[in-house]
Structure 1
Amino acid sequence: MAILDLARADILAVMAKLQGPKKVPADQLDKNDRLLVLYYLEAIIILKHLQRPGVVTNMTVEEWQGRKPTKNGCSVAIKEHKTAASQVAEVLLTAEHEHWFGIYFQNIRPLMLQGSRTGGDRMAEGQFFISSTGRPIHNPCNDLVRLHAKYKVKPVSSGDARMAFETAAKNLSEAHRSAVARLLGHPPETAEKHYRMRTPADAFLAQRVVEDIAAKASPGSTSYTSREQRVDEKTAFEMLIQSFPVTLEGQPPKKPKRQELCGEHERHCYDRWRSEQLKLRESCALEHFGRRQPSVSGIEAWIQSQGWSSNLPKATMILSQWEEGKT
Structure 2
Amino acid sequence: MKNSTPEERQAELQRAEENTKNWTRDRRVWDYAEMCKLYTNTALRLILLKDLRRKGFFIANAPQDTDTEVIDQSSTSTPIKQVLPPTSGSTEEAGEGAAETSDSGSSDKANPTWQKPTILRMKMKKMGLYAKFPPETALLAQFKDYLKNTLLVTKCQQEVDNVSRILRYIQPTGKEVHLDFLTKSKEAMTFIRELNSVKMSPSTIINYIKSMIRFIEHLKLDLKLAKKDQAFHNNCQKYIDILKTLRKPVLKSLCTDTVRKRYDWFIGDKQTLHDCQRVLRVTMKDMLGIYGKLLERKHVDKKQKTLFRYYCEGILILKHFQRPGAVQGMTTSEWFNKRLHHGRVCVGVREHKTATMQIATFALTKEEASFLDHYYLEIRSGYLKDGVDDRDKFFLSISGRPVSSATNDLRRLHEHYKLPNIRSQVVRRVAGTEANENFSEEQKSAVAHYMAHSTEVAKTHYRMRTMEGVVATANLFSCLERSTSDESGNEGTSHRRKRARETADEDVKDFSTFLECFPVGVTGQPPTKKQRTDAGFLPGRVFYDKWRVAQYNQRAEYLLSQYSRHPPTVHKVAKIIGKEGWKGNHPRPEDIVAKWKPAKRVQMESDAGIISSVTKQSWLGLAIKDFGGSKGQGVVSTKAFPKGSIICDYHGKVITAVEGMKLMESMKDEMGYLFFFKAGGRDLCIDAQTFPCECHPSVETMGRKINHSSKNWNLKPLHCLINFPEGARDVILFQAMKDISIRKELCFDYGVNRKSFRGGGLNLEWLDN
- TM-score normalised to structure 2 length: 0.27
- Give the secondary structure class of the aligned counterpart of 1:216: helix
Change (3 A) 1:227 1:35: farther
3-state DSSP of counterpart to 1:87: coil
The residue identity in structure 1 corresponding to 2:479 is D
Q: Which residue of 2 aligns with 1:89?
A: 360
Partner of 2:37: none
1:161 aligns with 2:432: no
Distance in 1 between residues matched to 2:457 and 2:352, nearest whole Å: 23
Q: Matched residues in 1 for 2:284 and 2:355: separation?
A: 38
Residues 103-142 of structure 1 mapped to structure 2, 5 A cutoff: 103-114=374-385, 119-122=386-389, 124-142=390-408
Note if contact 1:179-1:209 (Cα within 8 Å) is conserved in structure 2. Answer: no
Relative to structure 1, the CA distance from residue 9 to residue 83 in structure 2 (aligned partners, 3 Å threshold; closer, same or farther) is closer
Go from structure 1 to structure 2 and tell me whether the alpha carbon gap of 1:229 and 1:109 turns closer, same or farther (over 3 Å shift).
farther
Q: What is the deviation of 1:102?
A: 1.2
Q: Deviations over 1:107-147 (max 9, x none)?
A: 10011223xxxx3521x151110011211011100000000
Per the TM alignment, residue 82 of structure 1 is displaced from its structure 2 partner at its CA by 2.9
Aligned residue in 1 for 2:166? none
Preserved CA contact (<8 Å) 1:58 1:78: yes
CA contact (8 A) 2:358 2:455 kept: no
Deviation at 1:214, TM superposition (A): 1.9
C-alpha displacement of 1:18? 1.4
Q: Could you tell me which residue of structure 2 aligns to residue 175 of structure 1?
A: 442
Cα gap change, 1:46/1:75 in structure 2, threshold over 3 Å: closer, same or farther? same
Residue 300 of structure 1 is matched in structure 2 by: none
SS in 1 for 2:400: coil
Which residue of 2 is the match for residue 18 of structure 1? 294
Q: Secondary structure at the match of 1:192?
A: helix
Contact 1:113 1:125 in 2 (8 A): no
Q: Which residue of structure 1 aligns with residue 317 of structure 2?
A: 46
**Which blocks of at least 5 consecutive residues in structure 2 are unaligned?**
1-276, 493-769
Equivalent of residue 2 in structure 1, options 278, 282, 285: 278
Secondary structure (helix, strand or coil) at the match of 2:399 reads: coil
TM-fit CA distance, 1:88 = 1.0
Aligned partner of 2:157 in structure 1 is none
Residues 146 and 189 of structure 1: is their aligned pair in 2 closer, same or farther, counting only changes over 3 Å? closer
Query: How far 1:184 sits from its partner (Å)?
Result: 1.6
2:477 equivalent in structure 1? 210
Match of 1:144 among 399, 406, 410: 410
Q: 1:41 to 1:197 in 2, by over 3 A?
A: farther
**8 Å Cα contact 2:449/2:461 also seen in 1:** no
Cα displacement string for residues 208-267 of structure 1 (whole angstroms, at most 9, x for unaligned residues): 2222222232xxxxx37655679xxxxxxxxxxxxxxxxxxxxxxxxxxxxxxxxxxxxx
Question: Aligned to 1:18, what secondary structure does the other structure show?
Answer: helix
Matched residue of 1:130: which SS?
coil
1:67 aligns with 2:67: no
| Counterpart-to-counterpart distance in 1, 2:289 and 2:491 | 17
Quote the offset at 1:183 in angstroms.
1.3
* In 1, Cα distance between equivalents of 2:456 and 2:441: 11
> Structure 1 stretch 132-141 or stretch 204-213: which is displaced more?
204-213
Residue 299 of structure 1: aligned partner? none
CA distance in 2, matches of 1:7, 1:108: 18
Q: How far does residue 80 in structure 1 lie from its aligned partner after superposition?
A: 3.7
Give the whole-Å Cα distance in 2 for the aligned partners of 1:96 and 1:51.
Answer: 18
Q: Is the 8 A contact 1:187 1:193 kept in 2?
A: no
Sort the Cα spacing of 1:12 and 1:37 in 2 relative to 1 into closer, same or farther, 3 A.
Answer: same
Q: Distance in 2 between matches of 1:137 and 1:113?
A: 13
**Cα offset for 1:71?**
3.0
In the TM superposition, 1:269-288 aligns within 5 A as none
Structure 1 residues 176 and 31, CA gap change in structure 2 (3 angstroms):
same
**8 A contact 2:355–2:454 mirrored in 1:** no
Larger % of helix: which? Answer: 1
Q: Relative CO higher for 1 or 2, CA cutoff 8 Å, sep ≥ 6? A: 1
More deviation, 81-90/97-106: 81-90
The C-alpha deviation readout for 1:6-35, integer Å capped at 9, x for no partner, is 100000000111114xx31xxx31111100
Deviation for aligned residue 1:83: 5.9
What is the distance in 1 between the residues matched to 2:409 and 2:343?
28
Please, what TM-score do these two structures have when normalized by structure 1?
0.60
Asked if the contact 1:14–1:33 (Cα under 8 Å) also holds between the matched residues in 2, the reply is yes
Counterpart Cα distance in 2 of 1:190 and 1:111:
39
CA-atom RMSD in angstroms: 2.6
SS of the equivalent of 1:33 reads helix
Structure-2 change in CA distance of 1:63 and 1:229 (3 Å): farther
Task: Decide whether the 8 Å contact of 1:61 with 1:127 is kept in 2.
Answer: yes
CA gap of 1:59–1:187, structure 2 versus 1, over 3 A, is closer
- Separation (CA, whole Å) in 1 of partners of 2:342 and 2:354: 34
Change (3 A) 1:227 1:84: closer
User: 1:195 offset after TM fit, Å?
Assistant: 5.0
In structure 2, do the counterparts of structure 1 residues 213 and 80 end up closer, same or farther at CA, with 3 Å as the change threshold?
farther
Distance 1:83 1:42 in 2: 18
Is the 1:181–1:188 contact (alpha carbons within 8 Å) kept by the matching residues of 2?
no
